[in-house]
Structure 1
């Protein structure tokens, strides 16, 4: 999809909002864990060694942004990835970081970048 140039202001705001939502370490950890399978808050608390309050707060932000979904499962709620396009962005960022690290390694090893 080709984006309009220059980006319209409302689109700029939406893009910035998405980056703010996923630009928090705990939220990235939650998304990484949910990538494998859905989970309850309790399961996420245990997997991430985090407080229930912290996990719930971040899941709420991710849910309001439409990145995760929640579904009642008996007496608990299971969270799952609702928008897996977020992982494409993570892959792009990781690829960029990998390239930067390789360049830095080359420089430190005495090579020319």
Structure 2
């Protein structure tokens, strides 16, 4: 029996639902990155990053290319960037009690 669309959407939205995965997706918007570069930017344990990258690969959200001993990751397509931008727009409309988050959102927009 086929999976209903609403269940497929729920599974899709759970996929990027980890802070490290979100950060990886944000970083990859600027271009492909090696595992070494991702580790330096995210500052997590290599095993944790590896686990999160594997989940993103399995879902098809990112692709990996090996060149010698270096693995380069990049988004599978531009729709991921659109999804992250939509999340940013939605979060920027949060109630006034979330000024800390709004300040961070505005700061990262300036950095891009």
Does the pair score TM above 0.5?
A: yes
The residue aligned with 2:68 is 74
The residue aligned with 2:37 is 43
Q: What's the Cα RMSD here?
A: 2.1
Unaligned runs of 5+ in 2: 100-112
The residue aligned with 1:11 is 5
Report the CA distance shift for 1:10/1:74 in structure 2 as closer, same or farther (over 3 A). same
Larger radius of gyration between Structure 1 and Structure 2: 1
- Tell me how many residue pairs correspond in the alignment: 98
Superimposed CA distance per residue, residues 34-86 of structure 1 (whole angstroms, 9 cap, x where no aligned partner): 11121121211111111110111000000011000001112221111113212
2:92 aligned to which of 89, 95, 98? 98
Please state how far the C-alpha of 1:9 moved relative to its aligned partner: 4.9
Report the CA distance shift for 1:103/1:46 in structure 2 as closer, same or farther (over 3 A). closer
Q: 1: CA distance between counterparts of 2:53 and 2:40?
A: 15
User: Which stretches of structure 1, 4 residues or more, deviate above 6 A after TM superposition?
Assistant: none
The residue aligned with 1:111 is none
- For 1:56, what is the secondary structure of its paired residue? helix
Unaligned runs of 5+ in 1: 1-7, 106-113
Q: 2: CA distance between counterparts of 1:74 and 1:9?
A: 39
Q: TM-score, normalised by structure 2?
A: 0.76
